[in-house]
Chains A and B, each alone.
Chain A
Amino acid sequence: MPGADKETDLSERIESFLSELKRCGSGAGSLRGSAETARETTALLRRTTAQARWGNAGELMEIIRKEGRRMTAAQPSETTVGNMVRRVLKIIREEYARSRGSSEETDQQESLHKLLTSGGSSEDNFRQHFAHLKANVIEAINELLTELEGTTDNISMQALEHIHSNEVIMTIGRSRTVEAFLKDAARKRKFHVIVAECAPFCQGHEMATSLCKEDIETTVIPDAAIFAVMSRVNKVIIGTQTVLANGGLRAVNGTHTLALAAKHHSTPLIVCAPMFKLSPQFPNEEDTFHKFVSPHEVLPFTEGNVTQQHLTPFSTLKTEIVNKFRKKKLTQK
């Protein structure tokens, strides 16, 4: 009976998480931060590992894949969910390999060799049962969670290397990573920040207020003035929603304009992205790639019968525009 209770409790949590994902952004200003989503996804996956019934690594991976598919289907534009699921799957594979006793490289070599010779899938590798696999996987997921907590701090530690005194930095919209980055640099350096407001949600205003509290000189400019002001800017630092597999970005609306203006003036563009934003997806389908929200921010409902109206919170940046990526200092696995 307690097992059944746990399972229903688990499915309740998953259901409520899914509904929250589906409903997220019902008011455009209240978009949930990706860090929170990543943390909740990982916590949910850890709970699934602990409470679901599975005998070997293969079964566990199936369960996680199934849940992962449901979560990504709920809100396809929220890529952090998919990223964390893939990381957890990778953790499971590694722990399995470690339990078997073979090291990582030889295992890979073996499986490639196996692919060439036998041509069968390496799925049967995961069928062995190990007693401590569960504990190991949970421990590794805990480590992942700690990494998640510290990722913004890691980026902020590099701030002093990039921002020098009396520089003019430009940014757009509101990114918690960039905010922490700038605040960290402000402790030792004096510089000026220009924030593009990023209509129609105008998140730039909130960013500016928050920076002002730390005594950073901030100016808010409308999106149309980006090009005009760019000649006076030393660096452009932006955050992003996702980093795509080809190096492109999916960032907030208006970033493309900013990046083109920076390229024209040969201003360096720095992207601050924590590790859970790296996604293996490619920007293939132009049509269905974007998320569209209610048009009432642009033209209110009362304006009558408007035939066509679209409002998308994100825009895509091509690879070539981005010069530098600043992720956490440790090398990626």
Chain B
Amino acid sequence: MAGKAGKPSRPRKADKDEEEQPLQAVLVADSFNRRFFPITKDQPRALLPLANVSMIDYTLEFLTSTGVQETFVFCCWMASKIKEHLQKSKWCRPTSPNVVHVITSDLYRSLGDVLRDVDAKTLVRSDFLLVYGDVVSNIDISQALQEHKQRRSMDKNVSVMTMIFKESPPGHKTRCEDDDIIIAMDGKSKRILHYQRAQALKRLHFPMNIFHSGSDEFEIRFDLLDCHISICSPQVAELFTDNFDYQTKNDFVRGLLVNEEILGNQIHMHVTKDGYGARVSNLLMYDTVSSDTIRRWVYPITPEANFADLEGQSCTHSRHNVYRETGVSLGHGSQMEENVLIGRNTMIGANCTISNTVIGANCVIGDNVTLDRAYIWNRVHIADDVKVKQSVICDNVEVKHGVVLNEQCVLAYNVVVGPDITLPEGTVLSMHHPDEEDDEDDDEFLSDDNDVGYRKDKTKLKVFNPAEVGSEGKGYRWKTSSLEDTEEDELAECIWGEILLNQFLYHGGKLFSNLDKVMLEYNPHIAFRTVWTWKRYIKMYLKTLVEQSLYVSSQLLKKWAPVFKNYVKRPQDQLDCLASMEEVFLERETHWAALVKVLMSMYQLEILEEEGIMHWFNQGSTTDKSQQLRRNQGLLKFIQWLQEAEESSEEDE
């Protein structure tokens, strides 16, 4: 009923067309990592509450207030919950200015997959905003968008993406340490020349060619906070489709910058000083962004504004940033010192001291409780004499009396923590056992090398350890080290994937010794993809071969024979291979002689068989050009030779 679908699709002028295009956004509601495990075993990250409002609501509010009129939300993990939430929210009402489409698929494994899907479905018509589902921001994008459009119209679509950064000195607590970046940029045109993750690096190398880019104002900046908001052109989706080794945004940026001379694409940036933008990528960021929201840095997105239009969520804002919703009852002598948000119908006992805390709805908190930097979600019961410091307590948790939670503890859903126990720093408790198998989730981006020898019948006794959770407690303790390992593996995989395929495609496959690893790497990928992408892979390889000299290519073909053999097994595969070869060679008429040589080598290397080749040759060709191809002298001779060889081999048998 919002009527956006019925927009006229053929306006008179091209400029007018661009002006009238509604601004679109792609929201990736899945972070493709497990930073928030075990909390996200029960609830997707986009729906976790930040100051009692789901994180995805903040992102959608940011998009709507900046003028986006159509949003595509992509979900993978627990997609049904996200869909349900969105359909109940104000964004899916017919009067919403932002039309939200939810697209779910179990096959998304990375940002790259999402963008490839965007390209495949041609969802975006012009520049679009790319954000994650856990971005909290109040930045007004219109100026950056203007600059982006201007750049594209002036330079004929050279600039592919504009990234939004916020100025923020190193060490500022809103900077996520994992996301720290060093950027070399051109001061005048705001073009990014070099982009590097600076996490834990002690030395940085800048390639010299960035300083030859023709400008005379360079800046190397370390004072930038990545807001994870980007203005992308439709080319971005196409670039992801062309290079399916681009999995994350980091890959993409590095890939573009490395290959800039070949492809000519540029990335620009926009730095905002006054707006606020941050992504909740781990629990420390959750703490920081929560407290920033309560201290009104994200104005006008504040708790009492109730921007998500939730029923009964109105709260009052008092001195020292104390927010109280309806139905809150405070016991005698309790102090809400500063930066506190208390959800509706929560009862707080006597003599409590609460500061820098967020408490959800329907909680019951006992007497003499000290809460400092605690994030307590809904329906939590906290008994008397409890001390909580910088911890997250999820829904329905029961904390019995006398418990002390030290810094950075996480109590996931439904956990019970027994009386009189002190949890050491960094304890993570969950009702899910840490070695529990995930039935629905056999993703491989975690590179489960540690689980290679694991067998299903190795079930542990599901008994709660009283030393960990207290005598009446329920829950298992998760080792923090397992959470860190997966992070590193994920990083290694990205770099691994990028380096490998880049070199393969552009330097002629020097890493032939690592072929086995390549196959291991890409087998699962290809198993999940449809056949046509594999065809494209072959096509790309053949393209590069043909572009280089043929002498080199026959050697390369020998080197890569095992890879081809691995994939080309069934007759259908051979046909596909031949079809892609045909496509490649049809583009280059001058190289038809090479086609024969390639076919010959492939036949000799036993990648292709006579039957396959004959079948392909005898297939009716649809276009004139392919008919011409089939009439090529060299090819005809080869086919003749093949037939004779076939006959002779049959005679032998």
Contact = CB atoms under 8 A, between A and B. Distances in A.
A150 interface: no
A22 B95 contact: no
Contact of B296 (A23, A293, A304, A305): A293
B167 to A, nearest CB: 6
Nearest to B324: A288
B1 A8 contact: yes
Q: Give the contact-size bracket for chain A.
A: 20 to 34
Contacts of A294: 138, 276, 296-299
A296 B318 CA distance: 19
Interface stretch (A10-18, A113-121, A258-266): A10-18
Interface in B42-71: 64-65
Given A12-B95, A23-B65, A302 B296 contact: no
B169 A302 contact: yes
B167 A296 contact: no
B523 interface: no
A288 B297 contact: no
Given A27-B140, A288-B317, A302-B167, A15 B95 contact: yes
Contacts of A309: 295
B96 interface: yes
A13 to B, nearest CB: 9
B338 interface: yes
Given A16-B97, A23-B65, A27-B274, A288 B300 contact: no
B300 A295 contact: no
Interface in B281-310: 295-300, 305-307
B7 interface: no
B80 interface: no
A292 B140 CA distance: 20
A22 B305 contact: yes
Contacts of A26: 65, 138, 140, 299-300
Interface string B148-185: 00000000000000000011110011100000000000
Contact of B338 (A73, A296, A305, A308): A308
B274 A15 contact: no
Contacts of A307: 338
A178 B554 CA distance: 86
Interface in A7-36: 8, 11-12, 14-16, 19, 22-27
A15 B307 CA distance: 12
A287 interface: yes
A188 B305 CA distance: 47
B316 interface: yes
B456 interface: no
Interface string A272-314: 0000000000000001100011111000111011011110000
Contacts of A24: 300
B297 A287 contact: no
B95 A11 contact: yes
A302 B316 CA distance: 29
B172 A304 contact: yes
B16 interface: no
B320 interface: yes
B249 to A, nearest CB: 24
Contacts of A300: 273
A295 B280 CA distance: 21
Contacts of A23: 65, 300
B319 interface: yes
B314 interface: yes
Nearest to B138: A26
B372 to A, nearest CB: 13
Given A23-B65, A302-B167, A304-B172, A292 B297 contact: no
Nearest to B174: A301
B11 interface: no
Contacts of A14: 95
B351 to A, nearest CB: 22
Given A295-B295, A296-B297, A301-B297, A287 B1 contact: no
B172 to A, nearest CB: 6
Contacts of B331: none
B322 to A, nearest CB: 9
A12 B98 CA distance: 12
A300 B295 CA distance: 13
B319 A296 contact: no
Contacts of B274: 27, 296
A287 B316 CA distance: 9
A23 B306 CA distance: 11
Interface centre among A16, A26, A295, A300 (most CB of B within 10 A): A26
Given A8-B94, A288-B317, A22 B300 contact: yes
A26 B96 CA distance: 20
Contacts of B223: 302
Given A23-B300, A26-B65, A26-B138, A292 B320 contact: no
Contacts of A73: 306, 314
Contacts of A308: 320, 338
Contacts of A296: 274, 276, 297
Contact of A295 (B94, B296, B316, B320): B296
A47 to B, nearest CB: 14
B296 A292 contact: yes
Nearest to A26: B300
Contacts of A22: 300, 305, 307
Contacts of B338: 307-308
Interface string A131-165: 00000000000000000000000000000000000
A180 B648 CA distance: 105
Contacts of B299: 25-26, 292-294
Given A294-B299, A301-B297, A304-B169, A288 B140 contact: no
B172 A302 contact: yes
B115 to A, nearest CB: 30
A304 B172 CA distance: 6
Interface centre among A288, A301, A305, A310 (most CB of B within 10 A): A301
Contacts of B167: 301-302
A170 to B, nearest CB: 31
Interface centre among B169, B223, B296 (most CB of A within 10 A): B296
A301 B140 contact: no
B290 to A, nearest CB: 14
A25 B64 CA distance: 16
A12 B168 CA distance: 39
B276 A301 contact: yes
Interface in B518-566: none
Contacts of B94: 8, 12
Contacts of A304: 169, 172
Contacts of B65: 19, 23, 26
Contacts of A16: 95, 97
B300 A25 contact: yes
B316 A288 contact: yes
Contacts of B306: 73
A97 B410 CA distance: 64
A288 B318 contact: yes
Nearest to B298: A294
A301 to B, nearest CB: 7
Contacts of B307: 19, 22
Interface in B75-134: 93-97
B95 A8 contact: yes
Interface pairs A-B: 7 shortest CB-CB: A294-B299, A287-B318, A15-B95, A12-B95, A288-B316, A11-B95, A23-B300
14 contacts: A8-B94, A15-B93, A15-B96, A19-B307, A26-B299, A27-B140, A73-B306, A294-B138, A295-B297, A301-B166, A301-B273, A301-B276, A305-B172, A308-B320
Interface of A: 8, 11-12, 14-16, 19, 22-27, 73, 287-288, 292-296, 300-302, 304-305, 307-310
Given A25-B300, A293-B296, A301-B174, 15 more contacts: A8-B1, A12-B97, A15-B93, A22-B300, A22-B307, A23-B300, A24-B300, A25-B299, A27-B140, A294-B296, A301-B166, A301-B167, A301-B168, A302-B273, A308-B320
